[in-house]
Structures are given as C-alpha cells and as structure tokens.
Amino acid sequence: MPRLPAIACLLASLLVGAAAYAQTATQKQQLISALALPSNANISFLDTSGRPISYDDFMRQARTPGASFSKDVDARSNVVLRINPAHQAPAANTLSLKLKPGDALPAFDLHTAQGQRATNADFKGHYTLLSFYFADCIPCIAEVPSLNALAKQHKDFKLLTVTYESRDTALAFARQRKLQVPSLVDAQAWIDALGVSTYPALLLIDPQGHLVAASVSTALATKTDHGIPTASEITQWVNQHRKS
C-alpha cells in the first residue's frame, strides 16, 4: 500500500442529528478532493492494527506529529485509509535537533523542485523560515494554506519548504495541495545532519546562516482546535525570535 489522510464513518446512533450529518458530508467531500479520490469513494478507516475506527479517531491519530497513513483504492472506488505504525513515536510538539540556537547550519547543496540550485549562501542577508514536510503527513498537508498566506504576506523573510522526498513527489504534492512555496528536494542527508525527525517542523535562520529557533509547527497553534497554526501564529513566533 502506498503511504498517505480523512472522513467520518458515521456513528450508527439515533443521537446523530441532521446538522452533524451535514457536517460529516462536507468533511467527506473535502477529504475526497484533498486526496484526489474518486467522487463516489466509499472510505473506511483503520488503525495501525487494522481495526476499523471512526473518522474522528483516525484524524486524532493521523495528526500526531510525524504520523503517516496508507491509502488503498480498488477498482470499485472502495478506499481504505490506515494509520502506519510509527518507526519512532515522538513526543507531541517536541523537536530535538543536532544543533542549538546560534550554530551555523550544516553545509548543503540542493535543488528546488523547480530545478533551482540552493546552498548556504542563499540564507545570507535575510531571515529564512524553513518548513520541513513529507507528502503523507496530514499536519503538513493541513498547514499548506498557512504557508501560502505567509509567502504572500511577508517579503521581509524568505520562506522555503524542505522534504527528503524526490522532485516528482514534491511537484505532485505542490500540484495536489496547491503549495505555492518552493521546495528543497532529496534533502535526506541534510535533514539527518540537522536532526529533524518530527514533522511538520519549522526552523528560523538568521541573516548570517545561523539557527535562531526551531519548533514543531503544531506547537504554535492556539486559535484552532485541530492543531494547525495560522499564518498569524507563525508570524508571531518568527517575530518573537528575530531581531529588529
């Protein structure tokens, strides 16, 4: 099964009213659209053991930092979404790096999904915000609108996304999720050198190419109940750490 996010298995209960049903139907259409599933998809949700779970339980598990899921679609548009076993269960909203604030970032020589070369020299002279993601990460997918808004609102710092995945995967992600921020691709060695292992993660870099601050981005969310920071919350975090 390829790896990948979600909607409600309606609870068979007389307590489920029309309003709840309408909300679930809307969520289902949003999920079908986000995952580019057949419009008539019949979706089932499974936990890591293969047991059926509800939409709410699926989303709760899938939104854990670093979580991913598998997607299987058959010829009859039956879709199974299953939470993948965690190789390493990170503590929620924590990020452990191999460098500390003030340290220079490890040297890198990468390319964006659009084919542009990028090195440490590109960080010089301005603040840079790095957002680390992978294509099957539900919080990463949900964070895309906030990143797009940041890119439009702020010309005072540079915004880049970073993934260990291939150029083709990054381009497909950008197309399907409508990501409008450049992505550094095939960056596994550099990600390992940084010590990033929890996603989505944010690193703020100063104009000299040194680490200023780092955070699991979900830790910045205070205004929503689904753990995804808004553009204004990310901006507030950036402003707290950079010098005027």
Residue 53 pLDDT exceeds 60: yes
pLDDT of residue 32: 67
Residue 214 pLDDT exceeds 70: yes
Domain parsing of the chain, residue ranges:
18-83, 109-241
d(CA 64, CA 67): 5
Q: What is the mean pLDDT of residues 85-91?
A: 51
pTM reported for the whole predicted model: 0.67
Shortest CA distance to 75 belongs to which of 52, 41, 50?
A: 41
pLDDT of residue 24: 56
Sole residue written with tokens 């992978």 = 134
pLDDT of residue 21: 47
- Residue pair 183/113 in contact by the 8 Å Cβ criterion: yes
φ, ψ of residue 124 to 5 degrees: the values are -75, 135
pLDDT of residue 42: 86
Residue 140 pLDDT exceeds 60: yes
- Percentage of the chain beyond pLDDT 70 is 78
Query: Is the backbone peptide bond immediately before 200 cis, with ω within 30 degrees of 0?
Result: yes
Task: Categorize the per-residue pLDDT at 76 as very low, low, confident or very high, splitting at 50, 70 and 90.
Answer: confident
What is the CATH code of the structural domain delimited by 109-241? 3.40.30.10
Task: Categorize the per-residue pLDDT at 10 as very low, low, confident or very high, splitting at 50, 70 and 90.
Answer: very low
Interior angle at CA 140, CA 173 and CA 73, nearest 5: 55
pLDDT of residue 145: 94
